[in-house]
A and B are shown apart, each in its own frame.
Chain A
Amino acid sequence: MTAKEKEFYNKAADSKFSKKIGKTTKVKESIISAFFAVNGAMALVFIVLIFIFLFKEGLQAIQHIGIFDFIYFDRVQADGSVTTVFEWYPTSEEPRFSLAPLILGTLLTAIPATILSTILGVAAGIYLSEIASPKWKEFLKPLIELFAGIPTVVLGFFMLVVAASFFNDLLNPANRLNAFIAALGLSIVIVPIIASLTEDAIRSIPNELRMASYGLGATKWQTISRVLLPAAFSGVSASIILGFGRAVGETMIVLMAAGNAANITANIFKSVRTMTATIAAEMGEVSHGSDHYYSLFFIGIVLFTITFFLNLVAEIIINKMRKKNVF
C-alpha cells in the first residue's frame, strides 16, 4: 500500500464508524494499537541497546588503555632504542593493543572477496534477469537463495579441510591457511547477496528502456552493457556495499580458514587475523573487567560502526533507486 492509500484507510477506519463504535471498543482499539507500536519500536530499541551496551563496555577501554595505544605502541628494544610497533598482543607482559594488524587482516580478506564476488555475482544477476529462459529462471533463482542459506561454519569447515590442502598443493603459498582461502569462502557467502540484488535491480528497470534500446538496433549485449547496467547502477552498487559489509562482519569462515596470525602484510597468501576472529577467539578466555576484555568490546565498537555506516549508505542508495524507478 502506498502512503496515500494507507492514510485513506486509516481515516476511513477511524472516522466513519467512530460514532457508532462504543467507548470500550475505542479504548480497546487504542490499547491494541499502542501494543503494536511498542512491538514495532523494538527493532529500534534493540539497535539502540546494542549501541549502548557495546559502548558501555568498550569505551572503558579508552579510559584504561588510551586511544593512541589502539593504533601504535612505542616499544623499548633490547638495545635501548625505541621503535614504534603496530602489534596486537594483549597477553604479553607489555600488552600491545594496536588494531592495525586486525583491520588490515579484515581488509585483506574482505576486499578480494568482494572483488571476486562482484564479478561472479553481477554476472549471475545479469544471467538470471536477461539471459536465462523463464523456465530455468524459476528454478535457478530459488537455487541461488538456497545457497545463500548455507551455514557459514559449514563453509569454514570445507575451506579448512578440503580447499586449504587443494590450494596448498596447487599454489604453494607462504602459509597453508591464508587470506586467499578465507576470501574464497567469503565469496560463497556474498555472491548470492550481490546476485539477487543485481537481478532485482535489473528486473525492475521498466521495459520501455529495453524496447527503446532494441528498437534503435542494439544487440542484446549492447543493451545490457550500455543501457541496463548503467540504469541499475545504484542497485548494483548498493549490493556491493552490502556484500562488503557482510564480508567485514563474517566470523566463522575467517576464524577457521585464515590462519589467525596477527601479521601486517599485503601478501594474500599469508595468514591474517581479522577483527571478528579476534573477538571470537579471545572472548572466552578473558576475565570480566580486564583490559583485554574491554579492548575486545572496543573492537566490537569499531566493527559495529563500520557495518552500521555501510548499511546506512546502502539503504540510502536503495531508497533513492526506488524513488527514481517510479516512472
Chain B
Amino acid sequence: MIKFTERRKDFTGTLSIGMIKILFYLLLTFLFLFLANIFIEGIGVISLEFIFDAPRNNMTEGGIGPAIFGTIAVTLMMILFAVPLGVFAAIYLNEYAKNNFFNRLIRTSVNNLAGVPSIVFGLFGLGFFILFLGCKIDEIMETGLLLGQPALLWASATLAILVLPIVIVSTLEALNSVPKSFRDASYGLGATKWLTIKNVVLPQANPGILTGTILAISRGAGETAPILFLGAAFFLPNLPVADLCIGDYCIPMINPAEQFMYLAYHIFILATQSSNPTKTLPIQYGSTLVLIGLTFLLNITAILFRYRFRKNIGRI
C-alpha cells in the first residue's frame, strides 16, 4: 500500500518539478534567442569606423562615435558625483549610525530611492536642477542662459542620484564583510575611529566599492528616460568639449553646460523617429549590440570581482 501511494505522489512531484525545469529553460532559451538575434544582426555593422565616426547623411551612414563619447562623458561625471557621496553615506550607515528612528528612516530612503521610476527622476532633474538650481546659478553669476537649460552637468547629477542606491548597497556589503577583528586590532593599537576606517576598513572594502562603481556605470549607461529632456540630443555636429587654453596650449575638456549625444538615447531615436527606418535598421542593431556589449562587459566584470571578493571573506 505504501509503495502505491508513494509512486502516485511522486508522479505529481516529478511532473511539477519537470514543469519548473521546463519553464526555467524556456526562459533561458528566450533570453539567448534575444541576444543571438541582436548579435547576428548587429555584428555585421561593427567596425572601427562605426565606433569612432559621426553619423552622416541623416543617420543612414557613418557611426555612433559622438554617442559613445557622450555616454562616457556623462557616466564619468556621474561617477564623480555618485561614488564619493555613496561611499561616505555607506560609511555613515555602517560605522557611525546608531539604531534610532532617524537612521532607519535613512535606510528606508535608500531602498525607496532605488524604486523611484526613472521618468520621475527626469521630472525631478527638470524641476529642480534645471529650472531651480540652474536658473538660480545663472542669476547669481549673471551668465545669461547658461545652466538654466538642458546640460551635461544636470544629466550627470540626476543619473548620480539614480545610481546612488547601487553604490550605497555595494559599499555597505563590502564594509560589512570586513571582520570585526580588524577593527578590534586597530582600536587596540590606539587608532581613532576615522583612522581605523581610513587605513583598515576602506582598503579591505575596495573591491566591493569597485563592484558598486562598475554596476553604477552599467546602470547609468543604460538609462534613457531620465535624460530625455535633460540634454540628450539627436544630432550634434560637435562634441561637448571646450578648449581650456593656457597661453598657447589648449586642452580639450568636457563642457558640462552643453548638450550631448547618448548611446541609449540614440537607439531610442533611431528606432522610433529615424528618417528612414529601413536604411537605419543595421545601424540600430549595431548601436544596440554596442550598448548591450558594454553593459554585459561591465556587469560580468563586477560579478567576477564580487565573486572573488566574497571568496576572500573566509580568510583573515
Direct A/B contact, Cβ within 8 angstroms: yes
Q: State whether B291 touches A154 (Cβ < 8 A).
A: yes
B5-13, B52-60, B245-253: which lies at the interface = B5-13
Q: A57-B127, A158-B38, A252-B225 are in contact. Are A40 and B89 (CB under 8 A)?
A: yes
Q: Mark A192-231, 1 if CB is under 8 A from B, else 0.
A: 0000000000000000000000000001111011000000
Of residues 11 through 50 on chain A, the ones whose CB sits less than 8 Å from some CB of chain B are 12-13, 16-17, 20-21, 25, 28-29, 32-33, 35-37, 39-44, 46-47, 49-50
Alpha-carbon distance A116/B78, docked complex (angstroms): 35
Min CB distance A156 to B, Å, is 7
B contact residues around A54 at 8 Å (CB): 120, 123-124, 127
In this complex, the interface size class of chain A, counting residues with CB under 8 Å from chain B, is: 35 or more
Alpha-carbon distance A126/B268, docked complex (angstroms): 35
Q: State whether A46 touches B223 (Cβ < 8 A).
A: no
Min CB distance A259 to B, Å, is 12
Min CB distance A192 to B, Å, is 10
Q: A39-B92, A53-B132, A131-B17 are in contact. Are A146 and B117 (CB under 8 A)?
A: no
Q: State whether A42 touches B85 (Cβ < 8 A).
A: yes
Alpha-carbon distance A20/B187, docked complex (angstroms): 13
Q: State whether B96 touches A220 (Cβ < 8 A).
A: no
Does B168 reach chain A (CB closer than 8 Å)?
yes
Alpha-carbon distance A250/B225, docked complex (angstroms): 9
State the main secondary structure of chain B at its contact with A.
helix
Q: State whether A157 touches B300 (Cβ < 8 A).
A: no
Query: Which residue of the partner chain, among B16, B23, B296, contacts A120 with CB atoms under 8 Å?
Result: B23
B contact residues around A312 at 8 Å (CB): 108, 112
Does B288 reach chain A (CB closer than 8 Å)?
yes
Query: Which residue of the partner chain, among B31, B114, B229, contacts A284 with CB atoms under 8 Å?
Result: B229
A contact residues around B99 at 8 Å (CB): 3, 6
Q: State whether A145 touches B299 (Cβ < 8 A).
A: yes
Most chain B CB within 10 A, of A41, A242, A296, is at A41
Of residues 278 through 310 on chain A, the ones whose CB sits less than 8 Å from some CB of chain B are 279-280, 283-284, 288, 296-297, 300, 303-304, 307-308, 310
Q: Mark B95-114, 1 if CB is under 8 A from A, else 0.
A: 11111000101101111111
Q: State whether A44 touches B115 (Cβ < 8 A).
A: no
Alpha-carbon distance A3/B218, docked complex (angstroms): 33
Q: State whether A307 touches B187 (Cβ < 8 A).
A: no
Does A168 reach chain B (CB closer than 8 Å)?
no
Does A150 reach chain B (CB closer than 8 Å)?
yes
Alpha-carbon distance A248/B116, docked complex (angstroms): 10
Does B241 reach chain A (CB closer than 8 Å)?
no
Does A152 reach chain B (CB closer than 8 Å)?
yes
Does A162 reach chain B (CB closer than 8 Å)?
yes
Q: State whether A161 touches B110 (Cβ < 8 A).
A: no
Q: State whether B17 touches A220 (Cβ < 8 A).
A: yes
B contact residues around A161 at 8 Å (CB): 271, 281, 284
Q: Name the CB-closest residue of B to A162.
A: B37
A contact residues around B6 at 8 Å (CB): 219
Alpha-carbon distance A41/B165, docked complex (angstroms): 13
B contact residues around A25 at 8 Å (CB): 192
Query: Which residue of the partner chain, among A6, A49, A131, contacts B20 with CB atoms under 8 Å?
Result: A131
Shortest 4 CB-CB contacts between residues of A and residues of B: A249-B117, A151-B222, A221-B13, A40-B92
Residues on A facing B (Cβ under 8 Å): 1, 3, 5-7, 9-10, 12-13, 16-17, 20-21, 25, 28-29, 32-33, 35-37, 39-44, 46-47, 49-50, 53-54, 56-57, 119-120, 123-124, 126-127, 131, 142-143, 145-147, 149-154, 156-158, 160-162, 188, 191, 219-222, 224-225, 242, 245-246, 248-252, 255-256, 276, 279-280, 283-284, 288, 296-297, 300, 303-304, 307-308, 310-312, 315
Residues on B facing A (Cβ under 8 Å): 6, 9-10, 12-14, 16-17, 19-21, 23-24, 26-28, 31, 34, 37-38, 85, 88-89, 91-99, 103, 105-106, 108-124, 126-128, 131-132, 161, 164-165, 168, 176, 180, 183, 187, 190, 192-194, 196, 215, 218-219, 221-225, 228-229, 264-265, 267-268, 271-272, 281, 284, 288, 291-292, 295-296, 299-300, 303, 307
Listed A/B pairs (9) with beta-carbon separation below 8 Å: A12-B187, A39-B89, A126-B20, A149-B295, A219-B13, A221-B14, A248-B117, A311-B115, A312-B112
Known: A36-B96, A157-B288, A279-B122. 15 other contacts (CB 8 A): A28-B194, A36-B91, A39-B91, A39-B92, A46-B161, A49-B128, A124-B27, A152-B225, A219-B6, A252-B224, A280-B228, A296-B123, A300-B123, A307-B120, A315-B111
